[in-house]
Amino acid sequence: MLTRYGYDNAIPMLIIGFSLILLAAFVFTNLISWLSVGLGFIIIFFTLWFFRDPVRTVPESALNDHSMIIAPADGKVVEIVEIEEQEFFKGKALQVSIFLSPLDVHVNRSPVSGPVTFYRYMQGDYMVAWHPKASELNEQSRIGVQTPFGKVLFKQITGVLARRIVCTVKEGDTLTTGEQIGMMKFGSRMDIILPLDADILVQKDQRTRGGETLLATLKK
């Protein structure tokens, strides 16, 4: 199933892919036809793969216990560091960063339940998403949620290839753990920022599945 966040890109790409195949059948000949068919199938396959929206089952423990944080995206954990976060936490916090390659599922989900008390979209650069400075300098949306056990901030961050962020969240919304909140197109990064006393349940280089992997727990 294709994600609704990608219709504006996926439908034109699929039309181009099928058009190349049809042109090869009725217009082109010989080598050009084979090249056209091959390119058409590559475009179709990449579109269906990149904009896929697989079913995910949020752990019951995370739905029932709002101190539990789940991964908001598929990808690889590239950083677990202590940072200074002055916009929402206004002090020291823990940051877990997940890098999404173009082959990962790019639909993003809320890692927590609670009201959105902070939202900001920030224009910026397009550094490689795994670079530590990408968290501060790249284009991004920042979503802050006040859970019953403390604040949680998560960021959708663009990379070199990612040039568009889709975010359906606004300040005043109430999110549910695992709820879809948008996507980042063509490779990107997500940062999850937690209180210093949060228990981190993942390790660097570990793979995560958005909506399913338990990322951390907040102190009760």
DSSP code of residue 2: B
Side chain identity, residue 14: L
**Integer Cα distance of 90 and 92 in angstroms:** 7
Per the listing, tokens 């907040």 go with 218
- In the sheet that holds 107-109, the strands lie side by side as 107-109, 180-184, 165-167
**Integer Cα distance of 159 and 138 in angstroms:** 7
Per the listing, tokens 């070199």 go with 160
* 188 is an active site residue: yes
Could you give the residue numbers annotated as active site? 188
